[in-house]
């Protein structure tokens, strides 16, 4: 409650209800939605009021107002900078996104290529050139939060630190449509391993975050559900996904194909995870920790790459979820491993495709290609890593 009180006191010092018209700073294209929503909330207004949102967003420099569609939990990261004036808050949120990108890059590089610290600078340079990451930073989007949450969960799970693992896993809810599949995988894995401490920490974190939204505004969830029912429906938007493309075709029922794939993937991930990670006797488990965690890293990598091909809706900034696959390709090339050069070349071609061709209807193909490239790189290593006593793919063994 002290934290909420401090936020309310800070917001009370911002007395101007309608800021003067200004130029939208770099990094605020979407961040302005979160900032305005929280401003309205602290002023006692409905943060999902389309008219108020539009007026305030345009006053801050946006050419047109955009309906606020993010759930209340997605507003929480912006609380970290809401006490700052808008230009400084934009810079602060940009710094947060850069920090998340560095965190994910460091973790996945060391998970996939243990000890290769010298890979990290080149990875960061590559991501600064990859268009989806530039778009994330330019827009001030939340796409890196669920990726950072899943990455942190994996990082601390491998290191057997339950509380940080559970806290990070809770970040996947910041963008539920992106975090749902990783959260499902992690949940089934934790249940199978009977890791109750991580499950408890995760559950308490979700309860605390939800309670915070009610403390900020008791009616905020009701207002959110009203807004998505009365405003523009996401089902009518053309997004860079298979579902979005099929929805816009002459045969709308084709979208059912992607929904079927979505539900089938959930079932297969749940069943496959339950079978692959069956608990072992304590002594055997201790002897096979390395192999077991290599298998977990491999599966987690594949889960990240499955999110975008199967998600119901996503835009270009959401393509940042492909970060682990790019790290695998670039690291394979740096390690002079078979297939690394070809895979990296194809990733570069995909980036050029996005930049040079305004063919948004076909952008949904890129995550599918990324998934295939990732699976191809993993499959090319399988024969040299199989042992008589293991059925896993230990990535660290090939580095």
* Residues 65-120: tens digit of each pLDDT: 788 888 999 999 999 999 899 999 999 999 999 999 999 999 999 999 998 999 99
Terminal-residue alpha carbon distance, the chain = 49
3-state secondary structure of 387: strand
46: its two tokens: 């409905």
* Residues 30-56: tens digit of each pLDDT: 999 999 999 999 999 999 988 888 889
Q: Give me the torsion for CA of 65, 70, 75, 77, rounded to 10°.
A: -110
3-state secondary structure of 390: strand
* Residues 255-269: tens digit of each pLDDT: 778 778 888 888 999
For residues 81 and 218, the answer to whether their CB atoms sit within 8 Å is no
For residues 144 and 132, the answer to whether their CB atoms sit within 8 Å is no
pLDDT band at 290 (very low <50, low <70, confident <90, very high): low
What is the domain partition of the chain in residue ranges? 2-398
For residues 106 and 120, the answer to whether their CB atoms sit within 8 Å is yes
The DSSP string of 233-287 is -GGGS--SSHHHHHHTSS-GGGHHHHHHHHHHHHHHHHHHHHHHT----HHHHHH
Q: Report the alpha-carbon distance of residue 17 to residue 177 in Å, rounded.
A: 33
Residue 390, beta-bridge partner list: 387
Q: Does 17 score more than 80 pLDDT?
A: no
Predicted local distance difference test score (pLDDT) of residue 161: 92
């Amino acid at each position: 409650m002290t934290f909420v009180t401090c936020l309310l006191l800070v917001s009370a010092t911002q007395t101007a209800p309608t800021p003067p018209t200004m130029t939208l700073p770099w990094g605020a294209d979407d961040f302005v939605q979160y900032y305005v929503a929280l401003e309205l909330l602290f002023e006692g207004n409905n943060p999902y009021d389309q008219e108020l949102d539009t007026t305030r967003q345009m006053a801050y420099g946006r050419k047109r107002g955009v309906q606020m569609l993010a759930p209340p939990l997605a507003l929480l990261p912006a609380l970290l900078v809401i006490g700052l004036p808008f230009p400084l808050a934009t810079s602060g949120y940009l710094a947060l996104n850069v920090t998340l990108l560095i965190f994910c890059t460091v973790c996945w590089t060391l998970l996939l290529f243990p000890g290769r610290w010298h890979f990290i600078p080149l990875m960061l340079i590559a991501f600064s050139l990859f268009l989806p990451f530039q778009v994330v930073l330019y827009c001030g989007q939340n796409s890196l939060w669920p990726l950072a949450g899943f990455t942190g969960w994996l990082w601390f799970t491998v290191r057997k630190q339950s509380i940080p693992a559970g806290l990070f896993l809770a970040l996947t809810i910041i963008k539920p449509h992106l975090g749902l599949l990783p959260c499902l995988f992690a949940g089934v894995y934790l249940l199978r391993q009977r890791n109750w401490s991580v499950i408890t920490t995760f559950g308490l974190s979700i309860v605390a975050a939800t309670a915070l939204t009610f403390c900020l505004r008791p009616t905020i969830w009701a207002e959110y559900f009203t807004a998505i029912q009365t405003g523009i429906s996401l089902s009518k938007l053309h997004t860079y996904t298979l579902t979005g493309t099929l929805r816009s075709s002459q045969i709308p029922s084709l979208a059912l194909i992607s929904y079927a794939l979505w539900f089938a993937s959930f079932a297969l991930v749940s069943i496959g995870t339950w079978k692959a990670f069956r608990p072992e006797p304590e002594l055997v488990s201790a002897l096979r920790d390395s192999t077991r965690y290599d298998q977990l890293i491999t599966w987690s990598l594949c889960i990240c790459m499955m999110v975008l091909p199967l998600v119901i809706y996503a835009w270009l900034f959401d393509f940042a979820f492909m970060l682990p696959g790019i790290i695998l390709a670039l690291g394979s090339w740096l390690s002079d491993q078979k297939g690394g050069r070809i895979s990296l070349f194809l990733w570069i071609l995909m980036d050029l495709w996005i930049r040079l061709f305004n063919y948004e209807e076909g952008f949904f193909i890129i995550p599918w290609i990324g998934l295939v490239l990732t699976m191809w790189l993993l499959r090319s290593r399988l024969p040299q890593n199989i042992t008589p006593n293991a059925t896993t793919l230990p990535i660290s063994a090939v580095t």
